């Protein structure tokens, strides 16, 4: 026998957050996605002001891109939480997601530009993190922002995220490498409004 047969790879059991919940706040309902959200997502992500702040979203963005993203999430085959941000009228206006990448949970979010500067994203992200923290109390949440997105960095800072470093990552929308500030929210450090 050689060392390769003696030392078998142990498969790590990845943490499970459970199914995507429905979360209600004073103004919002955060819910699992539906295939019927494709048109609203396409409309929002056709706006370069939004996609330029996202790493993995192509420009131009079309309905097939939305469906390619939606199908695994709407079918429930992923372990990720991808919550549609809606107001009481159930119209899709943005996304808050927590996805497991390389064994670590990562927060991402975006909001239709019409709804900016109303405190909606802070409310949605805080409620999502609060619920996630109840399900996964000992889990750190990683995130980050492009260096030219001070509003998003300010939101994360208010919620308790700390800066851990700076790297460069490729932005599909910009077709170039962009400075990216890495952040993390340690267990028990969430600050801000709580879910209703």
pLDDT less than 50: residues of the chain? 1-11, 194-196
Where residue 109 falls (left for φ over 0; alpha for ψ -120 to 50; beta otherwise) is: beta
DSSP states of 66-114 as a string? HHHHHHHHHHT-SS-EEEEEEETT--EEEEEEEEEETTEEEEEEEE-GG
pLDDT value for 19: 87
| pTM, rounded to two decimals | 0.88
Domain segments of the chain as ranges: 21-185
User: Do 129 and 106 contact (CB within 8 A), yes or no?
Assistant: no
Instruction: Please tell me the predicted confidence (pLDDT) of residue 34.
Output: 95
- Nearest CA to 110 out of 161, 168, 47 is that of 47
For the segment(s) 21-185, the CATH number from 3.40.630.30, 3.40.1440.60, 3.40.50.11540, 1.20.120.790 is 3.40.630.30
> Tell me: the pLDDT tens digits for 48-80?
999 999 999 989 999 999 999 999 998 877 889
For residue 141, the SS3 value is strand
């Amino acid at each position: 026998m050689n060392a390769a047969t003696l030392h078998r790879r142990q498969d790590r059991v990845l943490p499970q957050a459970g199914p995507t919940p429905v979360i209600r706040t004073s103004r919002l309902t955060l819910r699992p996605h539906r295939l019927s959200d494709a048109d609203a997502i396409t409309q929002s992500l056709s706006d370069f002001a939004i996609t330029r702040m996202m790493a993995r979203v192509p420009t131009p963005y079309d309905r097939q891109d939305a469906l390619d993203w939606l199908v695994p999430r709407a079918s429930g085959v992923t372990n990720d939480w991808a919550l549609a941000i809606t107001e009481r009228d159930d119209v899709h206006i943005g996304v808050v997601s927590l996805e497991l990448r390389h064994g670590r949970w990562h927060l991402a979010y975006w909001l239709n530009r019409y709804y900016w500067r109303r405190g909606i994203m802070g409310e949605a992200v805080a409620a999502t993190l609060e619920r996630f923290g109840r399900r996964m109390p000992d889990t750190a949440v990683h995130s980050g922002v492009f260096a030219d997105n001070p509003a998003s960095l300010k939101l994360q800072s208010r919620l308790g995220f700390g800066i851990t470093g700076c790297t460069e990552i490729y932005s599909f929308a910009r077709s170039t490498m962009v400075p990216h500030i890495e952040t993390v929210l340690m267990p028990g450090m969430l600050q801000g409004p709580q879910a209703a």
